[in-house]
Amino acid sequence: MERLLINRVRLNVEVSGTGPHVLAIHGFTGSTATWATLATAVGKEYTVVAVDMLGHGASDAPRDPKRYSMERCIEDLEAILDHLEIERVRWLGYSMGGRIALSAAIALPQRTSGLVAESASPGLATAEERASRVQDDEKLAERIEQDGIKRFVDYWGAIPLFASQARLPATIRDRLRAQRLRSSPLGLANSLRGIGTGAQPSVHELLSNLAMPTLWIAGKEDAKFAGIARDMHRLVPGSEMHIVPKAGHAVHLEQPDDFNQAVLGFLRERKPVSSQVQG
């Protein structure tokens, strides 16, 4: 673990493995622990750079929600690459992290050699959808601040999006809950306000211009995000898609062997190509 001073905030970064770099970004309420199993699976061939995003894990939780915005987030990630002297990277992201990874690949084509997005989306297509989601995210942020982290974690773990995780062994569910309980209420609330799905700029119109090896992963039981993965697959020429049976939103947690094999196979087979976004 190393808390790097990046653009006047401290971000926790964990580096493991050897070989070409994969920068891994967790989902909302997650941390670098999200990628522990993956790092072990690919560590003999790839270096995993796992980052606690602002408001999560051991990273800082600024009071200004604007500091969490997608633009500032991408600036931070590029600064991490500079600090670690990494020229190009494969982005890997789950859910919120998938949105960030996708946006980073679009914004930083010169630093990108590939993209793996799990249960991700390009944001909401219309201004009306985004405005409605901003209101919902603000209500959820206020709930976190008012109810406290324990009540929020109990609520969050029970939402329909994670229903398939009820099949997981109790030890795994308990470990996930314990990790969430260590979260900062302020950090989670401001993350929703700054980089929630409503606050995020849509990148729908840029998808067809992605020109790097890309893999979309989703769980078959997560009908919404499996559908989004199929839509993005159709819009990105040459991209690949992997829909995992008996998995919901968190494929890496529910079917880790399938997930790790898919990611490792993609990294091995899809050698870096010239990355460029036309537009």
pLDDT in tens, the chain (279 residues): 799 999 999 999 999 999 999 999 999 999 999 999 999 999 999 999 999 999 999 999 999 999 999 999 999 999 999 999 999 999 999 999 999 999 999 999 999 999 999 999 999 999 999 999 999 999 999 999 999 999 999 999 999 999 999 999 999 999 999 999 999 999 999 999 999 999 999 999 999 889 999 999 999 999 999 999 999 999 999 999 999 999 999 999 999 999 999 999 999 987 654 433 332
Structure tokens at 106: 């679009």
What single-letter amino acid sits at 231? D
Q: Cα–Cα–Cα angle for 256, 258, 260, nearest 5°?
A: 65
Looking at residue 271, what is its pLDDT? 61
Looking at residue 82, what is its pLDDT? 98
- Letter string b/e over residues 67-101, b meaning 16 or more CB atoms within 10 A of that residue's CB: bbbbebbbebbbebbeebebebbbbbbbbbbbbbb
Q: Which of 57, 52, 42, 34 is nearest to 172 (CA)?
A: 34
Looking at residue 209, what is its pLDDT? 82
Looking at residue 60, what is its pLDDT? 98
What is the Cα–Cα distance from 48 to 249, expressed in whole angstroms?
Answer: 22
248 touches 219 (CB < 8 A): yes
Looking at residue 217, what is its pLDDT? 98
- Letter string b/e over residues 213-246, b meaning 16 or more CB atoms within 10 A of that residue's CB: bbbbbbbebbeebbebbeebbebbeebbbbbbee
Q: Which of 133, 139, 90, 137 is nearest to 115 (CA)?
A: 90
- The side-by-side arrangement of strands in the sheet containing 47-51 is 2-6, 9-17, 47-51, 21-25, 89-94, 112-118, 214-219, 240-244
pTM reported for the whole predicted model: 0.95
Looking at residue 270, what is its pLDDT? 73
Looking at residue 272, what is its pLDDT? 52
What is the Cα–Cα distance from 22 to 42, expressed in whole angstroms?
Answer: 10
The strand pairing partners of 112, in sequence order, are 89
Q: Is 13 exposed, middle or buried (0-12, 13-18, 19+ CB in 10 A)?
A: buried
Domain 2-123+201-269 has CATH 3.30.565.10: no
Looking at residue 23, what is its pLDDT? 98
Q: Are strands 9-17 and 47-51 parallel, antiparallel or unpaired?
A: antiparallel
